A = this chain, B = another copy of it.
Amino acid sequence: MTIPTYNYFDGRSRGEVSRLLFAYGGTKYVDTRDPFPMQDALREKTPFGQVPYYVDDEVQIAQSVAIEFYLADKLGLAGSTTAERAQILQYTLLPNDLYGPYFQAFGPQNQEALKKFATETAPRLFTKLEALLVKAGGKHLVNNKLSWADISIFNLLDFFHQQPGNLVEALNGFPVLLAFHKQIGSIPQFVEYLNNRPKTMF
């Protein structure tokens, strides 16, 4: 098999969970980090005119969560039963519900909207997430073992750590989530990846 290519911009955003999965599996891949905005030649090649876009000898896949599923399933991290797969999938779909309002406020630097996001929108969801994690035993979100759900929610929490304006303060009062972020981030493959990834604004 030739080395797979992962097309995405030079940012974390919708691309980072897949990169974490590549890192976890030790998979060699081409991380294109394409210029923004998207070039026409690339748009032509992709299924829906969008990145991220994954291609290997076997498949072409669009949509970030579908690519993540493909990588995670090959690593045994996407669940085995229908119920387990669905439980994992619900967590991997959740982050976009926070990225949407965040970037709507961050783009135009709407300070009032950013404050509402950090003090209301995010903590409301974190309250739910922390309760689910506690109920699941505190270490892993689904069935007491590492899954794509953990990696996706780790990346969401990591996003709060990376963004400017002390966004990480939205996690004050959520010690179980903070411990989870530290625990997943301590997996050796992630330590190495996180220490060496390019520094980007998003």
State the A residues within 8 Å of B (CB): 47-50, 58-59, 61-63, 65-67, 69-70, 73-74, 82-83, 85-87, 89-90, 93-94, 97, 100, 124-125, 128-129, 132
Is there an interface contact between B89 and A65, defined as CB atoms closer than 8 Å? yes
In the complex, what residues of B have CB within 8 A of residue A87's CB? 59, 61, 66
In the complex, what residues of B have CB within 8 A of residue A89's CB? 63, 65-66, 69
Known: A65-B89, A69-B85, A70-B83. 7 other contacts (CB 8 A): A58-B83, A59-B83, A63-B90, A69-B86, A70-B85, A70-B86, A73-B82
Is there an interface contact between B90 and A128, defined as CB atoms closer than 8 Å? no
In the complex, what residues of B have CB within 8 A of residue A74's CB? 82
Is there an interface contact between A132 and B67, defined as CB atoms closer than 8 Å? no
Is there an interface contact between A90 and B62, defined as CB atoms closer than 8 Å? yes
- Complex formed: what's the CA distance from A129 to B28 in Å? 31
Q: With A82-B73, A86-B73 in contact, do A63 and B93 touch (Cβ < 8 Å)?
A: yes
**Pairs across A and B, CB under 8 Å, 14 listed:** A47-B132, A48-B90, A48-B129, A50-B97, A61-B87, A63-B89, A63-B93, A65-B65, A65-B93, A69-B89, A70-B86, A73-B86, A74-B82, A100-B100
CB distance from A132 to the nearest CB of B (A): 6
CB distance from A135 to the nearest CB of B (A): 10
In the complex, what residues of B have CB within 8 A of residue A83's CB? 58-59, 70
Nearest to A59 among chain B residues (CB) is B83
In the complex, what residues of B have CB within 8 A of residue A66's CB? 86-87, 89-90, 93
The 5 tightest CB contacts between A and B, nearest first, are A66-B90, A70-B86, A66-B89, A63-B93, A63-B90
- Complex formed: what's the CA distance from A129 to B61 in Å? 14
Is there an interface contact between B82 and A48, defined as CB atoms closer than 8 Å? no
In the complex, what residues of B have CB within 8 A of residue A100's CB? 100
